[in-house]
Amino acid sequence: MSFGFQAPYMFLLLALIPFLLYFDLARKKRSALRFSSTRMLSSIRRSRRERFLRVPPVLRCLALLMLVIAIARPMSGRNAIRNVTEGVAIQMVIDRSGSMGMTMDYRGKSVSRFDAVKAVFSDFVLGNGRELSGRPNDLIGVTAFAGFADTISPLTNSREAMAGILKELEIISDASKDGTAIGDAIALGAARLKTAEEEAQFAGHQGDIFKIKSKIMIILTDGEQNAGERTPAQAAALAKEWGIKLYTIGVASAAGGGFSDFSGAILGQIAESTGGIFRIAADERSLRAVYEEIDRLEKTEVESIQYLIVREYFLPFALAAFGMLILEALLSVTLLRRLP
């Protein structure tokens, strides 16, 4: 916190105060009636009213002092920092069909593809302290699909909420709802990203500013489209129209099985058409490598702007000066009125 004056040269006006005192004293020395001698009056004690006759000139000088301080513009200021974040709006589109229950290697253990995907995606969002530093400054949403697509989480920058959502997300258990509606899932995710600017209004904290630098969708599946109304190509066209980049990941077994060339070709085409990339992941290591690549490609920039918060004190001093002048005028025409 610092205190100062915007126009300190105004204090030169204080030189007027001695002149005011001089002229007031000179005026008092001029007698209205002349006496040959005032020696007889010297023994008379001065009344309380006479002693208070000094108050008006003192008030006038104090008023001038307050007025000079006011026009010198006193102010205090403190430094503040505002972060301007150019972040990425990320919609994760996860296949939770029954085939995602097949196993894959995860750090030497055999786990379901779905659990491996959730674990690596969690590292991508929250960070693991090693290869992935996390995405603390981005908006992230989740869309899951099987026979139909569903929004699991709207775009949010709450990492705690995202961790809880991923923990609760499970493979579809109802066989009647199983399937792979990739096109509908992409279209739904794109619709969420289209309105990402609305969510960005609430992403900043304590006056910080959040701007969307880019919009991307990470689509992860292990099968071919066999459900839904839109084809992947139709949905990708919507995404491209709305400025959304698609990153597609095909999950396969270690031997390359479980993912057809036909599906790979489709995912590659829709990714390329929007400026994204397509990769195949057969285990935790290759899956993590894909996320690391995306992490490098989609950088978030945070700029800190330092500024000064200023508070001015002109009004209190100006009101004090005005009040003193009013009081001086009232006293001069009432209780302390002087006859010529």
Q: What is the CATH number of the domain that holds 249?
A: 3.40.50.410
Let me know if residue 10 belongs to a domain: yes
Question: Total structural domains in the chain?
Answer: 2
**340 assigned to some structural domain:** no
pTM here? 0.66
Can you tell me the mean pLDDT for 298-316? 73
Average pLDDT for 176-198: 92
Query: Does position 309 have pLDDT exceeding 80, yes or no?
Result: no
- Looking at residues 319-335, what average pLDDT do you find? 85
Q: How distant, in Å, are the alpha carbons of 17, 153, 257, 263 from that of 101? A: 90, 22, 14, 19
Confidence band for 205, pLDDT divided at 50, 70 and 90: low
Count of C-beta atoms within a 10 Å radius of residue 26? 9
- Looking at per-residue pLDDT, the higher value among 8 and 21 belongs to 8
- Look at residue 327 and tell me if it is in a domain: yes
Show the domain range for 23: 2-31+45-77+310-333
Whether 40 maps to a domain, the answer reads no
Instruction: Verify that 175 and 257 share a domain, yes or no.
Output: yes
What φ, ψ does residue 246 adopt, rounded to 5°? -105, 130
37 within a domain of the structure (yes/no):
no
> Residue 88's beta-bridge partner residues?
214
- Rounded to whole angstroms, how far apart are CA atoms 15 and 9? 12
Give the pLDDT mean for 206-213.
73
* Rounded average pLDDT over 33-49: 57
228: Cβ contacts below 8 Å, ≥ 6 apart: 145, 147, 148, 149, 179, 181, 182, 183, 184, 185
Q: Which residues contact 58 (CB under 8 A, 6 or more apart)?
A: none
- Identify the helix (H) or strand (E) that includes residue 116: helix 113-126
Same domain, 127 and 223: yes
> Is 162 in the same domain as 256?
yes
How many CA within 13 A on the CB side of residue 227? 15
Q: What is the mean pLDDT of the chain?
A: 83
Please indicate, yes or no, if residue 339 is contained in any of the structural domains. no
Residues 168 and 22 in one domain: no
196 in Cβ contact with 212 (< 8 Å): yes
Residue 53 forms part of a structural domain: yes
Tell which wins on pLDDT, 180 or 254. Answer: 180
Report the pLDDT averaged over residues 28-44. Answer: 55
In a domain, 38, yes or no: no
If we measure between CA atoms, which residue out of 271, 219, 226 comes closest to residue 250? Answer: 219
Q: What is the DSSP letter of 231?
A: -
pLDDT at 152 over 60: yes
Higher-confidence residue: 7 or 30? 7
- State the greatest distance between any 2 C-alpha atoms of the chain, in Å, as a whole number: 129
Judgement on whether residues 246 and 105 belong to the same structural domain of the protein: yes
Q: Are residues 156 and 199 in the same domain?
A: yes
Asked if 189 and 273 sit in the same domain, the reply is yes
Query: Quick check: 218 and 91 in contact, CB under 8 A?
Result: yes
Between residues 120 and 79, the one the model is more confident about: 120
Q: Are residues 316 and 291 in the same domain?
A: no
Inform me whether the pLDDT recorded for 228 exceeds 80: yes
Q: Tell me, yes or no, whether 136 and 188 share the same domain.
A: yes
For residue 33, the one-letter residue type is L
Q: Count Cβ neighbours within 10 Å for each residue of 197-223 and write b for 16 or more, e otherwise.
A: eebbeebbeeebebebbbbbbbbbbbb
Average pLDDT for residues 89-117, to the nearest whole number?
Answer: 91
Residue for token pair 């990492």: 159
Same domain, 111 and 259: yes
Specify whether 327 is located in the same domain as 230: no
The mean pLDDT of 15-22, rounded to a whole number, is 76
Residues 68 and 168 in one domain: no
Residues 6+ apart with CB under 8 A from 292: 131, 132
